Structure 1
């Protein structure tokens, strides 16, 4: 039986990766710092190796103890993380790095793995921890994968856009579920297409790439359909069992309450679309949206949605009140 080591493994993408590999007959081990609750404590077959992934010696100890066939790297946020991991696990059957659609450095539609340029990453950006450098750092991690592939390491990467699904801790969907559950009239900014991906599809993509991917290659992953924000909200409302009146607004209307379109979760002002044909050629396919949204909503506690994740309702009401008088 083959063994998979998931670096990360207890929060979101990593948690689903553990479940995906377990469901397909793999032995699974987790390597992380143990700072988050481990949902697999009752499964004695899942080995938990505690350590900091920035500690090279700790990674070596995990390798020697577990002897993994596949490594799924969910928490490599700096180029050094990827370079180190591809060296330490160079003899493994597969190393798969979780990159990001943010790694692309050009706004084109769609973004293709072998055509669209990646972000550049300076030495200063490579060690910075701000959101502004996230894309460049992920791109540099991709380049480390390519270099490892050239050395004969079976290293690959997966590039998801915004990920949603059960155990998502970002609150992006929670905000809108709370809104459709509580109010019958909502503001929604005019927005461009934004590619999203269901977390179980990312997990299946990770397994597909580990089993079938080519060394030194990157693979986009994303939903088959691309709803705009208003359509996402209606999908969530349908799943909750309600309907909402969506009032589409521009920056001019939002300025009434000192709001901006970017204040709303999941907003994007330019289309972000990933071409997923490369992964689909390996018989991967995405979950139907209605099923993915239903599973997501089922695991959301809307009472936990705080206003800090988006505009507060009072500000929205100010805009709605003014628009009613026009």
Structure 2
């Protein structure tokens, strides 16, 4: 397979590139040159947001292209139109955020989506991803594969969610653990996302697919316990009710990464229907493996995860955590 990777040096793009190389694919990575791509690729440099920024790709032909772009949909539109006729399949890594909120529990790919336009410039994340989908469909029709990923975890994470929990639990002491302990979580290991996507390219799948683990693949308790085992920490988990956390003004998802209190937001994020992807071969590794491999990767880079400049820094400030635990309000 000849694969063109738009990006390919960070998190999802890096996982896709590594997986394709492991299969013996011929991989071309197009990027701005800010990070080193994996060994074994053909690296081409350019800035797709500038006039003539894609010109270095003008002479190539590929079986498929993978595009992880998350900003202005017009950038996806321009790339898709530029590559039409020289690429067999356009794979756009989208998001389950494209569904109109609240999505509710158990809804599949037929659920209503937000409004979007492939001609948009800078818009909110959900509208940007939907516009990117429309751009891929406009240029490639049935040969556009829309990978609607959910929460993504694993090595190379540059958002900081799982790395924050690992480093916090490694420090030990009393740790605010957001309950309920048995609350179901739904996520996708970035390497399982990559494996399914490459399989889908080989199968020439098209259209939208929710890509996340089955609901209840793990729980909040299992996730934090795996972090403690992996880091060798003797942290004392202090489980707190959602009501107490919210009353204290602690922000779900941002200050307590991954966690959302029971309700509409939790159902939208952690109760999605993935039967379509499962029927086409989606495999999800256990949480212990995701946690262990993410910790191992963190150790190779000095323990500090990279941070995407366009995403907020996540995590609970130590003084906020201490004040909450000392209050006894949990």
Same fold (TM over 0.5): yes
Shift of 1:289: 2.3
Residue of structure 1 aligned with 2:174, choices 149, 168, 185: 185
Does the 8 Å contact 1:4/1:27 carry over to 2? yes
Residue of structure 2 aligned with 1:112, choices 89, 108, 118: 108
Give matches, 1:1-326, under 5 Å. Answer: 2-35=1-34, 37-40=35-38, 43=39, 45-55=40-50, 57-64=52-59, 66-91=60-85, 92-106=87-101, 107-113=103-109, 115-121=110-116, 126-128=120-122, 133-150=124-141, 154-190=143-179, 193-215=184-206, 217-224=207-214, 225-250=216-241, 253-254=244-245, 258-262=249-253, 263-269=255-261, 270-271=266-267, 272=269, 273-301=271-299, 303-304=303-304, 309-323=314-328
Distance of aligned partners of 1:245 and 1:155 in 2 relative to their CA distance in 1, 3 Å threshold? same
Aligned residues between the structures:
310
**Comparing 9-18 with 182-191, which one deviates more in the overlay?**
182-191
Identify unmatched segments of 5+ residues in structure 1: none
Distance of aligned partners of 1:134 and 1:320 in 2 relative to their CA distance in 1, 3 Å threshold? same
Quick one: distance in 1 between partners of 2:89 and 2:160? 32
Superposition RMSD in Å: 2.7
3-state secondary structure, aligned to 2:18: helix
Shift of 1:68: 1.6
Distance of aligned partners of 1:313 and 1:295 in 2 relative to their CA distance in 1, 3 Å threshold? same
Shift of 1:181: 1.1
Distance of aligned partners of 1:122 and 1:8 in 2 relative to their CA distance in 1, 3 Å threshold? closer
Does the 8 Å contact 1:149/1:155 carry over to 2? yes
3-state secondary structure, aligned to 1:49: strand
Does the 8 Å contact 1:104/1:111 carry over to 2? no
Deviations 1:177-228 (A, max 9, x none): 122111242112336644211010111122122121433x011111244333
Quick one: distance in 1 between partners of 2:58 and 2:209? 25
3-state secondary structure, aligned to 1:127: coil
